[in-house]
Structure 1
């Protein structure tokens, strides 16, 4: 099983657009890397956790950040429909800052919308039909980002993991259909875990998942060997003590 996973992950990444969503090809994508391009919608990010991470022997709590990767119009290299991307681990401060920004932007966004509508009306009164053309010419070009990841499904939480509460932005495990609904996407939206190994020192977070984490299983071969040595050693020790205890004593004359 481990050799199968390692072999699949070693294959060159597939282009996401070459996969037909209507087929059952997604069932054959287990442990296959896929490459997809698009633009992250950071305002719709979901934080799943808490998830701990050990750094130089120090354990730090944080979250997995899941963000929709949106298509770019008139760009055939980008995804044709939105997908969910687990970008990796981020510290707790990321979620706190995101909640503060979302709360502060609620009222100013309405004011900005009203002022924008008023300015648009006055602009149309002054300049007529030339204004939209000027805006289009001055709009900055959107540079898509490339994500190399592995297609996954929802997590299976243990009995000790609480239920997700989308209304209070509490996500304890990955439930792809529920997260897609929270982001305003269809329930059959594809979920990809980023495993890109390119490290950017200028932006250390999010930290993508380690490829070795995908290869590992709940019990590794080394664990089996340790269990075998432990139990056989205990069995030998107990057998020796039982033999010493139950051995008949020599009668003394």
Structure 2
């Protein structure tokens, strides 16, 4: 009786591990296709940003080109940790012919947090820029929530920033990370977008399939001992 139950347990575990292994193989194929799509977008010619109705998170990391006028008086600083060290993202509304788009103009270190300490950083008049489409970040930072009333921002939450800055015109539901084109005075520093997708699905698949094999081996040993008796 006990041997039979153990045999059933081994076969059940083997089936479960096999299902998990197949699922990880499917995830591996999905992740590799995603990486290929994003890499193609990063090297493609820039296109016009989508309208609010055409926007989909599937379009993230698409290169876009846009023109307009910055509203520097409604700038928002969002905490950031980059290859340049800790500091701030400079998120500025860009007024375009189709509404407002929030632009992450780039990074400034802590000693250049105040607008008056960033000489030349605020370009007046019409501008044109190229960058990457990014999805809004409404969940705040790691273990920290945005506090708009206190002016503390840990993520680039488009809707919350637009509301806090009194942007009543239509605001795009995404933001744009500006590329590395130098800004006047050298700050903010653009082009620091990190495009990296963890891809450990092959290791996970081999692990689950290995456990499946061990479970089948255990079932075979139990079955063989039963036949001998």
Please say if residues 161 and 172 of structure 1, whose CA atoms lie closer than 8 Å, have aligned partners that are also in contact: no
- Structure 1 segment 77-156 matched on structure 2, within 5 A: 79-95=97-113, 97-98=114-115, 143-155=125-137
2:182 paired residue number: 199
Q: CA deviation at 1:224?
A: 7.2
2:149 paired residue number: 167
**1:179 corresponds to which of 161, 164, 188:** 161
Please say if residues 37 and 147 of structure 1, whose CA atoms lie closer than 8 Å, have aligned partners that are also in contact: yes
CA change 1:188–1:199 in 2 (3 A) is same
Number of residue pairs the alignment of both structures matches = 167
Please say if residues 178 and 187 of structure 1, whose CA atoms lie closer than 8 Å, have aligned partners that are also in contact: no
Q: CA deviation at 1:189?
A: 1.7
2:48 paired residue number: 15
Distance 1:53 1:224 in 2: 29
Secondary structure at the residue paired with 2:175? strand
Distance 2:154 2:176 in 1: 17
Distance 2:83 2:51 in 1: 39
Which structure has the higher relative contact order (CA within 8 Å, separation 6+)?
2
Distance 1:178 1:187 in 2: 14
Please say if residues 103 and 177 of structure 2, whose CA atoms lie closer than 8 Å, have aligned partners that are also in contact: yes
Secondary structure at the residue paired with 1:198? coil
Distance 1:146 1:163 in 2: 33
Secondary structure at the residue paired with 2:159? helix
CA change 1:5–1:64 in 2 (3 A) is same
Q: CA deviation at 1:44?
A: 0.7
Please say if residues 147 and 194 of structure 1, whose CA atoms lie closer than 8 Å, have aligned partners that are also in contact: no
Q: Report the TM-score, using the length of structure 2 for normalisation.
A: 0.61
Q: In terms of Rg, which structure is larger?
A: 1
Please say if residues 68 and 83 of structure 1, whose CA atoms lie closer than 8 Å, have aligned partners that are also in contact: yes
The more displaced of 186-195 and 34-43 is 186-195
Q: CA deviation at 1:26?
A: 1.3
1:52 aligns with 2:85: no
1:70 paired residue number: 95
1:4 paired residue number: 37
1:39 aligns with 2:69: yes
Q: CA deviation at 1:220?
A: 4.4
Distance 2:164 2:39 in 1: 34
